[in-house]
Amino acid sequence: MTREDVEALIAIKPATTELVLTGRGLLPLADLADLVTEIRPIKHYFDEGLLARQGIEY
């Protein structure tokens, strides 16, 4: 899906529909959003070399 596709979807979305977009690289679309949040790890076991767990991270 391209940025243009996402912008078109946002443009045609009914006002009563809430659209939730997640993932990397969405910040350039922040000007089109009503709400923008950022989640970042403060302390994470990945930092200790532990791998992602099936059913939790994927």
Highest mean pLDDT among 9-13, 39-43, 46-50: 9-13
- 29 closest CA partner among 8, 12, 45: 8
In whole angstroms, give the CA distance from residue 16 to residue 41: 32
Q: What pLDDT is recorded for position 5?
A: 93
Q: What pLDDT is recorded for position 8?
A: 95
Q: Convert the pLDDT of each residue in 14-44 to its tens digit.
A: 999 999 988 888 888 889 888 898 888 888 8
Determine if the pTM surpasses 0.85. Answer: no
Q: What single-letter amino acid sits at 6?
A: V
Give domain limits for the chain: 3-48
For tokens 């790890």, name the residue.
41
| pLDDT for residue 12 is more than 90 | yes
